[in-house]
């Protein structure tokens, strides 16, 4: 079994998860970060991170870290950590193409004694049932004889400056007891918050996938309550504030559920459940509610416009925010675009403004052309879709200034008091 003093690490994938991890390992071990996007490697060599997860100063502290887009440069590594995306397809089925591709890349580099650790979110069993066979087939080596595997699920929260990779307790696991000890010791050497050694890879995989499934269901409950209270003419936020005075009431809020985890991970679990003959009901019901909230927001905006005698067809609407959460440039699985599409279906012209999001990425990902500086007094309706600090600083007056006289201001994120807006979830 490898000793820590012998470790040479290759991190495959330098996104929101891989880069912060590579930086921490690069402070203590020879580390190479691999990303097949040459532009990404160039910006990192220049000391910049477009995800804003790592500052130039933090990059500079990783003295043993270098970056490449050439997989061959990882040939001398003996620990490979895979941190590639695991999205879902248009039918909400797990898309394992990135994971399989990364496994093929690593498989071509594997040597006897090497350890491959996966961090990407998967369903229980995926590491040993999907990834390991690829590693064996490409490398010609035998699992748990010539090479070993581990799983340590990522817990990165994009845009969160308080909960960082070193301050979040890390779950670890390995394919044998000895490997589990090694993986745990490796992460413990860089994670200040410590580690939790799971009993098996499958347990660690299952733990990760339910973390966000639980959160998804909690939000789905609040979203459903918002749908009910809206029909009853009751302000949901006021209800939640009143209920929140009880010591054990959980402080969830309604909203659009997007991002790389909460809106995706439950489908990995339900996929595996259906594969083994169990049809999950509660999890999928929660997903249906949360996936439908974009349509609900658009419907509420349209109703307010009609009630104010504003012609919806041909109207101008401003969407404030496109990222999936506040103070973050991450566009993955953003359901703000659902609101945009629904309003466009009413023949409204929708401008989208987001000071955090890269315009080229918005165009490539969703076909959305961002507006850099929305004109004042030009919109029949303004929707606060993301609670960026820039919008909060404008206050009610600044946000209302985008509206035409008599225009609608709708608050998805409870950014403003109820009396300052015309509607909210």
Cβ neighbours of residue 173 under 8 Å, at least 6 residues apart? 150, 151, 152, 180, 183, 197, 198, 199, 200, 201, 203, 204
Give me the sign of the Cα torsion angle 84, 114, 191, 129. positive
**Beta carbons of 66 and 74 less than 8 angstroms apart:** no
**Beta carbons of 74 and 34 less than 8 angstroms apart:** yes
Of 416, 374, 381, the closest CA to residue 396 belongs to 416
278: helix, strand or coil? coil
- Show the beta-strand stretches assigned E in 208-355: 316-320, 349-353
Selected catalytic residue, list 131, 261, 328, 403:
261
State the Cα–Cα distance between residues 161 and 50, nearest whole angstrom.
15
- Show the beta-strand stretches assigned E in 55-124: 65-68, 79-82, 115-118
Q: Is 377 left (phi over 0), alpha (psi -120 to 50) or beta?
A: left
Compute CA 369 distance to the chain's CA centroid, rounded to the nearest angstrom.
22
The radius of gyration of the chain's CA atoms, rounded to the nearest angstrom, is 23
- Show the beta-strand stretches assigned E in 287-361: 316-320, 349-353
Query: Counting beta carbons within 10 angstroms of the beta carbon of residue 290, is it exposed (0 to 12), middle (13 to 18) or buried (19 or more)?
Result: buried
* The two three-digit tokens of residue 143, written as one number: 């699992």
Q: Which residues pair with 149 in a beta bridge?
A: 116
Is 77 labeled as catalytic in the residue annotation?
Answer: no
Q: At what angle do helices 336-345 and 293-307 cross, to 10 degrees?
A: 50
Cβ neighbours of residue 281 under 8 Å, at least 6 residues apart? none
* The two three-digit tokens of residue 177, written as one number: 């007891």
φ/ψ of residue 408, rounded to 5: -100, 135
| Active-site residue set | 261
């Amino acid at each position: 079994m490898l000793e820590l003093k012998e470790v040479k690490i290759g991190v495959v994938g330098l996104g929101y998860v891989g880069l912060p991890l590579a930086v921490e390992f690069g402070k203590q071990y020879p580390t190479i970060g691999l990303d097949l996007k040459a532009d990404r490697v160039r910006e990192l060599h220049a000391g910049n991170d477009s995800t804003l997860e790592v500052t130039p100063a933090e990059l500079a502290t990783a003295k043993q870290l270098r970056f490449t887009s050439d997989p061959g440069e990882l040939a001398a590594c003996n620990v490979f950590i895979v941190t590639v995306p695991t999205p879902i397809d248009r039918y909400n089925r797990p898309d394992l193409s990135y994971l399989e591709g990364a496994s093929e890349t690593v498989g071509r580099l594997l040597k006897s004694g090497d350890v491959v650790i996966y961090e990407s979110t998967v369903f229980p069993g995926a590491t040993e049932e999907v990834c390991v066979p690829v590693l064996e087939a490409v490398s010609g080596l035998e699992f748990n004889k010539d090479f070993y595997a581990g799983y340590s699920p990522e817990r990165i929260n994009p845009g969160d400056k308080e909960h960082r990779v070193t301050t979040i307790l890390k779950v670890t696991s390995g394919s044998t007891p000895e490997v589990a000890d090694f993986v745990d010791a490796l992460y413990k050497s860089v994670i200040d918050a410590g580690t939790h050694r799971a009993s098996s890879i499958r347990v660690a995989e299952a733990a990760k996938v339910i973390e966000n499934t639980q959160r998804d269901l909690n939000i789905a409950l609040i979203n459903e309550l918002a749908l009910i209270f809206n029909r009853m003419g009751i302000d949901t936020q006021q209800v939640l504030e009143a209920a929140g005075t009880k010591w054990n009431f959980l402080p969830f809020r309604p909203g659009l559920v997007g991002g790389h985890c909460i809106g995706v991970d439950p489908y990995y679990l339900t996929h595996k459940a259906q594969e083994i003959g169990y049809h999950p009901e509660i999890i999928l019901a929660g997903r249906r509610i949360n996936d439908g909230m974009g349509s609900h927001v658009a419907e509420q905006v349209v109703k307010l416009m009609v009630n104010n005698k504003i012609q919806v067809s041909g109207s101008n609407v401003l969407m404030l925010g496109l990222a999936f959460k506040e103070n973050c440039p991450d566009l993955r699985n953003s359901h703000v675009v659902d609101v945009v599409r629904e309003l466009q279906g009413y023949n409204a012209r929708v401008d989208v403004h987001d000071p955090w999001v890269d315009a080229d990425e918005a165009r490539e990902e969703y076909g959305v052309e961002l507006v850099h500086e929305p004109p004042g007094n030009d919109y029949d309706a303004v929707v606060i879709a993301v609670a960026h600090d820039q919008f909060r600083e404008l206050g009610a007056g600044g946000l209302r200034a985008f509206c035409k006289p008599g225009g609608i201001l709708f608050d998805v994120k409870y950014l403003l008091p109820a009396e300052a807006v015309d509607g909210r979830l």
